Amino acid sequence: MPRGNMPRQPSRSGRQEGVRRGMRAASKNIPARSAARRESPAAPGNVAKPTVPKKKPSYGYDPLNPERVRQIIAGLDQMYPGVTCALTHRSAWELLVATILSAQCTDVRVNMVTPVLFEKYPTVQDFAALEPEQLEPDIRSTGFFRNKSKSVVGAARKIVSDFGGKVPETMEELLTLPGVARKTANVVLGTWFKKNEGVVVDTHVTRISRRLELTRHEDAQKIEQDLMRIIPRERWTDFSHEVIWHGRKLCVARGPKCADCGLEKLCHAADKTWSTVEIHKDAKP
């Protein structure tokens, strides 16, 4: 008989494959693998159980979860009760001018410039009568003074010619004024007219909203839309003020003071300086 075709003989010791495993399994009262293979699922009383796919574990983290957003708002309320706009003003016009001047400039600096400015030019008509160049020396220290002069004088002229000398109260009308975009309009509408038409998105709101994973956008308009979706409308103005204060006091651009922050447990920012929670690498300014 050619080699390789020999029928398999039981070994004398009875230790052929399967026997030993079956015996060992029997002695431990567990089914042997070979025995399990022989079992037919269709055998009476041996119905195979349907295979249930294993679920991936859900960690349940949703940065936009309404409860998380509520806790962030509550934390801000607690840290900054009753805060309002830091720009000194006595009228809608003064607030509008101060907000235009605050672009790329600190509120402290603007608050040093505006009292002198409004002493010199008390009314919107006074500003409308100026040439932009005449205003430049008065606002020079706020930076970008040429553009800011054009905006302030241009806004004054439009308010006098189209709105009877009164700062308009709607977003649509405010956006027709030179140098006024949504951020400035939101400041004036929310702070002076008490109208929640949007969320003020400045450098602080941008940075902190991204650190807190309330948005992934960098564009101010998209950030504002994201925030308007998750913050209750009646809180838009207060939320803006509180976040701006938070950005000045604790959540500064470099080296935020996380150990002192009331939002620390809710914040997973990648550039935290101290943390008791896990860090999310995409949560960055």
Q: Which two tokens stand for residue 84?
A: 């309002």
| Start-to-end CA span in the chain (Å) | 81
Q: Which two tokens stand for residue 108?
A: 């402290």
Q: Which two tokens stand for residue 36?
A: 């399990």
Binding of ligand SF4 by 250 (CB under 6 A): yes
**Shortest CB 269 distance to ligand SF4, Å:** 4
**Shortest CB 239 distance to ligand SF4, Å:** 14
Stretch of 12-20, 151-159, 189-197, 257-265 lying at the interface with ligand SF4 (CB under 6 A): 257-265
Q: Rule CB under 6 A: which of 258-277 touch ligand SF4?
A: 258, 261, 263-264, 267, 269, 272
Residues forming the active site: 183, 202
Q: Which is nearer to ligand SF4, 148 or 207 (CB)?
A: 207
Q: Which residue has the tokens 């604790």?
A: 250
C-beta neighbour count of 221 within 10 angstroms: 13
Taking CB under 6 A as the criterion, the residue among 256, 270, 279, 284 binding ligand SF4 is 256
| Distance of alpha carbon 273 from alpha carbon 285, whole angstroms | 14
**Shortest CB 266 distance to ligand SF4, Å:** 8
Binding track, positions 182-221, relative to ligand SF4; x by CB under 6 A: -----------------------------xx---------
| Distance of alpha carbon 231 from alpha carbon 66, whole angstroms | 9
Q: Which is nearer to ligand SF4, 138 or 264 (CB)?
A: 264
Give the residue among 144, 143, 127 at the shortest CA–CA distance from 135: 127
| Distance of alpha carbon 208 from alpha carbon 80, whole angstroms | 15
Q: Which is nearer to ligand SF4, 22 or 285 (CB)?
A: 285
**Shortest CB 243 distance to ligand SF4, Å:** 9
Q: Which is nearer to ligand SF4, 100 or 251 (CB)?
A: 251
Binding of ligand SF4 by 76 (CB under 6 A): no
Q: Would you say how long the chain is, in residues? A: 285
3-class state of residue 45 by DSSP: coil
Listed as own residue / partner, the contacts of 159-164 with beta carbons closer than 8 Å and 24 or more positions apart are: 159/93, 159/124, 159/128, 160/124, 160/125, 160/128, 161/128
Asked if 216 and 63 count as a contact pair (C-beta separation under 8 A), the reply is no
Q: By rule CB under 6 A, what count of residues binds ligand SF4?
A: 13
**Shortest CB 212 distance to ligand SF4, Å:** 6
Binding of ligand SF4 by 251 (CB under 6 A): yes
Q: State the residues that interact with ligand SF4 by CB under 6 A.
A: 211-212, 250-251, 256-258, 261, 263-264, 267, 269, 272
